[in-house]
Amino acid sequence: MKNLICINTYKSSELVKAFIWDYIDFVKNRDDYKFIVSLDGDDKETINYCNKYKIPFLYSDINEGVGISKNRVLTSFNNYDYYFFIEDDIELLNSDVFDVHIKLSQELNIHHFSLFEARRIREQKNILKNNEFHIIQAMYGGAPFNFFTKKGIDIVGGFHTHFAKYKRFGHTEHSYRFVNNNLVKYPFNIIEECLDGYFRWNDPISRIKISVEVSENRLFVEEEELILEKLKFYPIKTISPYHENNIENMSSLDNIIYDKNISKNKKYFYFKLNILEFVRNIKSKLKYMIKRFKA
């Protein structure tokens, strides 16, 4: 069995420095897991960091969004049984999360799981029970952590290139294709027991700022229109040229050089995040006070 863990990143070397090492430590002790970073765009800081420490990674000439970033990995490494795509701002707390997803996928024949903060689960429809685990099934959710089987990807294909011009969106439409192919009853399947204690969900400053029209379902209207077309398959496509560096170290993690500042990097990130959250809290209170004053 071959499993691939991929960290998707864009213009955020600080996050790469802080969080990839926990994943590397896990994979280093498991022959059945491999690791890679998929960098969306030609970000010199991240490229130099990964090269300095001999971390395996892909990078593209142009920033085209996380969906296309995943497509590059699925194109270059199409022979894995299970794929885990994880956003760069998530801290790994318990590596059992990977084996749990594979186990439940095999036992319940579920080809796509998602995992994110519980508050982002919308329109919950059902709960599947499997021994000590409960799988929440919902209509809408997030994509900080995505699990796919190779069989599922072979059937539904890759992420739609329509969204490359926005450099975001598309994960919900991709999840709905699993429903359209009768692989699962609902697009978002979340292991309830993994919502807490396995990852620390962080909310740094957004690197992609874009204002778009949103539907009543709180989806980008163009994505909802595509969902209504009920596509069953879209080929795995890439657009701009991309490059592979240190790929030989996917199988030889002992060749990776450890950063002596891992702990410092993580502390620095949380220091900045605490300041950001303090500012956000002040802004929220000011907005509330102004609203009450105007009323």
Per the prediction, the chain carries an average pLDDT of: 94
Reported in sequence order, the residue ranges of the chain that DSSP labels E, i.e. its strands, are: 3-9, 33-39, 57-60, 82-87, 91-92, 112-115, 122-130, 133-140, 145-149, 188-191, 199-200, 242-245
pLDDT digits (tens, 9 = 90+) for 178-232: 999 999 999 999 999 999 999 999 988 776 667 778 888 888 899 999 999 999 9
Is 81's pLDDT higher than 90? yes
Please provide residue 72's backbone torsions phi and psi, each rounded to the nearest 5 degrees: -60, -40
**CB-based contact 184:110 (threshold 8 Å):** yes
Q: How far apart are CA 274 and CA 50, in angstroms?
A: 27
The pLDDT assigned to 208 comes to 65
**CB-based contact 176:159 (threshold 8 Å):** no
pLDDT digits (tens, 9 = 90+) for 112-152: 999 999 999 999 999 999 999 999 999 999 999 999 999 99
Is 17's pLDDT higher than 70? yes
Percent of the chain surpassing pLDDT 90: 86
Q: Where are the alpha helices (DSSP H) in 83-167?
A: 96-108, 150-156
Its pTM stands at 0.94
Model confidence band, residue 288 (pLDDT cutoffs 50, 70, 90): confident
Q: How far apart are CA 103 and CA 109, in angstroms?
A: 10
Which of 150-154, 191-195, 261-265, 288-292 is predicted with the least confidence, judged by mean pLDDT?
A: 288-292
